[in-house]
Amino acid sequence: MIATGESNSLEDFVASAFSEVGLDWQEHVVQDPKLFRPSEIRYNCGNADKARQILAWTAQKKMRDVVSEMVRTELQAD
- Domain ranges for the chain, please list them: 10-77
Distances (CA, A) of 17 to 4, 40, 70, 77: 19, 22, 8, 16
Say what the pLDDT of residue 2 is. Answer: 67
Say what the pLDDT of residue 69 is. Answer: 94
Q: 57 pLDDT exceeds 90?
A: no
Helix (H) or strand (E) holding 48: none
Mean of pLDDT values over 11-18: 94
Q: Summarize pLDDT for 18-43 with one digit per residue, the tens.
A: 999 999 999 999 999 888 877 766 66
Answer with the residue of higher pLDDT: 53 or 41.
53
